[in-house]
């Protein structure tokens, strides 16, 4: 046989006798990858069935069952057939008869699951057994103390140094703050004892550090300190608080914000930009002092508002924490509306996951939006008697603390 004859023979279709293929095999359409006919058994007891292609789409549950049984499968008692996937294939090809050209004809490819007709927990027993078994389960071993960063946030709010009220004057204020600082030491030890010790600390001064003289007329007659003495007391108290944190943590961040009582005023009118504030000035003084001793305080950093802002935001253990005094809105119920507006205005706290505010002298916490948290801090002052006379409400003083870790906030307490 010549080379040309050999080539012609190779190009001719193989005969039925040469291949041994049956007519049925010749009529089968090409099957896309993953749609081969068959059954897969899942560990939970269900079966995933890929049925042969059909010219008609799947109809009722009875039709699904019929198509599965046509494959020779037996549906066990208490089980049902459920359609999980149906795909229309408009280009499935096959040969109608041996020797004819391949043609395309649309088919439906379907996948079903054979599963228990009742929910697994119902078939396993009644509700009483379900609860009993769940409560008696073996608890997973507690994981070791994680190495991820955990941050302690200390909120120092509304001390209003120089103010005299039902709870005393400056001597009582200093004693109260000293007691809260001692409780802070205990809180830090408690966290370490239960395996949630923080690795970094944040000092959040929420404003109104001094009482001032220009907010109301009575301040000139009730205050027990001059303005410079108020500032001096606040500075020394803040030094003490930050020194305690600086001696216990390898990293400390101190932040403050603008407020109404601490704002520099002439009468009731504010002077200068928002940063013209005694609280911000005191924080700046402490930052200058710490900068003179890098060996002792090089691990302490400071965050203060931009010149034309009165709020700040901090990255605390991977979560954004915003700090604002709260005098920007008329009553605490408006905090959410104000926060939303700040977000639209792209202000410093726009992306905050947690917002800390003061000003309203009582504790309040509320979840907002999608996973955001607003914390209204309690006061450290000597009492707001004017508010008690008007409303009958009495605010309880305290130092607010909470922790932030990889999973969010926890360990919120009032000391």
pLDDT at residue 104 above 50? yes
Going 37 to 41 to 45 to 46, the CA torsion angle's sign is negative
Q: Do residue 156 and residue 286 come from a single domain?
A: yes
Inter-residue contact 255 to 303 (CB < 8 Å) = yes
pLDDT at residue 13 above 60? no
Q: Do residue 210 and residue 347 come from a single domain?
A: yes
Inter-residue contact 356 to 321 (CB < 8 Å) = yes
- Span 247-257, average pLDDT: 97
**Residue 11 belongs to some domain of the structure:** no
- How wide is the angle at C-alpha 200 spanned by C-alphas 360 and 402, nearest 5°? 35
| Domain around 60 | 27-123
- Span 366-390, average pLDDT: 88
- How wide is the angle at C-alpha 64 spanned by C-alphas 59 and 65, nearest 5°? 140
Compute the half-sphere exposure of residue 94: CA atoms within 13 Å on the CB side of its CA: 18
Spatial distance between the Cα atoms of 254 and 379, rounded to a whole number of angstroms: 19
For 182-202, how does the pLDDT look when each residue is reduced to its tens digit (9 = 90+)?
999 999 999 999 999 999 999
Q: Which residues partner with 274 through β-bridges?
A: none
pLDDT above 70 covers a percentage of the chain that reads 86
The per-residue pLDDT for 23 is 44
Cα-based torsion angle of the residue sequence 269, 275, 279, 282 in order, rounded to the nearest 10 degrees: -130
- Of the three residues 123, 141, 168, the one that is the final residue of a domain is 123
Q: Do residue 227 and residue 373 come from a single domain?
A: yes
**Residue 9 belongs to some domain of the structure:** no
The per-residue pLDDT for 7 is 45
Query: Residue 5, by phi and psi: left (phi above 0), alpha (psi -120 to 50) or beta?
Result: alpha
**Residue 129 belongs to some domain of the structure:** no
For 310-343, how does the pLDDT look when each residue is reduced to its tens digit (9 = 90+)?
999 999 999 999 999 999 999 999 999 999 999 8
Own/partner long-range contacts of 398-402 (Cβ < 8 Å, ≥24 apart): 398/180, 398/363, 399/154, 399/155, 399/156, 399/177, 399/180, 399/181, 399/183, 399/184, 400/154, 400/155, 400/157, 400/363, 400/375, 401/152, 401/153, 401/154, 401/155, 401/184, 401/187, 402/153, 402/375
- Of the three residues 83, 105, 123, the one that is the final residue of a domain is 123
Domain containing 247 — which CATH number? Answer: 3.60.21.10
Number of domains within the chain: 2
Q: Alpha helix locations (H) across 269-415?
A: 278-291, 294-297, 335-344, 385-391
**Residue 87 belongs to some domain of the structure:** yes
**Residue 48 belongs to some domain of the structure:** yes
Q: Do residue 45 and residue 178 come from a single domain?
A: no
The per-residue pLDDT for 233 is 95
Q: Do residue 310 and residue 348 come from a single domain?
A: yes
Q: Do residue 290 and residue 367 come from a single domain?
A: yes
* Closest alpha carbon to 411 in 192, 243, 203: 192
Q: Which two tokens stand for residue 148?
A: 């991820």
The per-residue pLDDT for 51 is 92
Q: Which two tokens stand for residue 206?
A: 């929420």
pLDDT band (50, 70, 90) for residue 124? low
Looking at every residue in the chain, the average pLDDT score rounds to 86
**Residue 247 belongs to some domain of the structure:** yes
**Residue 130 belongs to some domain of the structure:** no
- Of the three residues 78, 105, 123, the one that is the final residue of a domain is 123
**Residue 191 belongs to some domain of the structure:** yes
Spatial distance between the Cα atoms of 83 and 105, rounded to a whole number of angstroms: 23
pTM exceeding the 0.75 threshold for the entire prediction: no
Q: Do residue 160 and residue 115 come from a single domain?
A: no
Q: Do residue 269 and residue 380 come from a single domain?
A: yes
Distance of CA 289 to the CA centre of its chain: 37
Inter-residue contact 262 to 277 (CB < 8 Å) = yes
Inter-residue contact 223 to 211 (CB < 8 Å) = yes
DSSP 375-406: EEPPP-SS--HHHHHHH---PPP--EEEEEET
pLDDT above 90 covers a percentage of the chain that reads 59
Q: Do residue 211 and residue 310 come from a single domain?
A: yes
Q: Do residue 373 and residue 226 come from a single domain?
A: yes
Q: Do residue 118 and residue 225 come from a single domain?
A: no
Strands of 234-297 (E only): list them: 252-256, 265-266, 269-270
Distance of CA 78 to the CA centre of its chain: 43
Total residues found in the chain within this entry: 415
The per-residue pLDDT for 199 is 95
Own/partner long-range contacts of 43-46 (Cβ < 8 Å, ≥24 apart): 44/120, 45/115, 45/116, 46/113, 46/114, 46/115, 46/116
Q: Do residue 201 and residue 333 come from a single domain?
A: yes
């Amino acid at each position: 046989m010549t080379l040309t004859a050999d080539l012609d023979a190779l190009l001719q279709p193989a005969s039925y006798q040469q291949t041994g293929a049956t007519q049925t095999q010749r009529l089968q359409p090409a099957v896309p990858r993953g749609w081969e006919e068959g059954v897969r058994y899942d560990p939970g007891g269900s079966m995933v069935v890929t049925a042969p292609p059909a010219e008609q789409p799947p109809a009722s549950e009875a039709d699904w069952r019929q198509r599965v049984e046509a494959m020779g499968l037996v549906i066990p008692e208490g089980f049902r057939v459920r359609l999980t996937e149906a795909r229309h294939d408009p280009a499935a090809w096959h040969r109608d008869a041996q020797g004819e050209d391949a043609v395309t004809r649309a088919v439906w490819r379907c996948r079903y699951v054979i599963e228990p007709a009742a929910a697994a927990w119902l078939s396993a027993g009644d509700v009483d057994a379900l609860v009993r078994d769940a409560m008696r389960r073996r608890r997973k071993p507690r994981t070791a103390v994680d190495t991820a960063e955990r941050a302690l946030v200390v909120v120092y709010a509304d001390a209003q140094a120089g103010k005299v009220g039902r709870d005393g004057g400056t001597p009582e204020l200093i004693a109260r703050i000293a007691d809260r600082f001692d409780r802070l030491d205990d809180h830090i030890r408690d966290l370490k004892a239960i395996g949630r010790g923080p690795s970094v600390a944040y000092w959040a001064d929420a404003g109104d550090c001094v009482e001032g003289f220009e907010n109301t007329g009575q301040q000139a007659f009730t205050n027990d300190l001059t303005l410079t003495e108020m500032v001096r007391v606040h500075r020394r108290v803040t030094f003490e608080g930050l020194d305690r944190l600086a001696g216990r943590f390898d990293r400390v961040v101190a932040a403050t914000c603008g407020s109404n009582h601490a704002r520099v005023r002439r009468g009731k009118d504010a002077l200068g930009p928002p940063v013209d504030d005694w609280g911000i000035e005191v924080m700046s003084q402490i930052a200058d002092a710490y900068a003179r001793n890098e060996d002792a305080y090089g691990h302490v950093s400071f965050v203060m508002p931009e010149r034309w802002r009165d709020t700040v935001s901090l990255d605390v253990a991977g979560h954004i924490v915003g700090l604002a005094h709260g005098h920007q809105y008329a009553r605490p119920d408006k905090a959410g509306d104000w926060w939303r507006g700040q977000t639209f205005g792209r202000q410093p706290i726009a992306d905050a996951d947690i917002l800390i505010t003061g000003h309203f002298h009582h504790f309040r916490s509320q979840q907002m939006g999608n996973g955001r948290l607003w914390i209204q801090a309690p006061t450290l002052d000597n009492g707001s008697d004017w508010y008690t006379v008007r409303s009958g409400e009495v605010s309880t003083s305290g130092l607010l603390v909470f922790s932030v870790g990889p999973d969010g906030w926890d360990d919120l307490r009032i000391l």
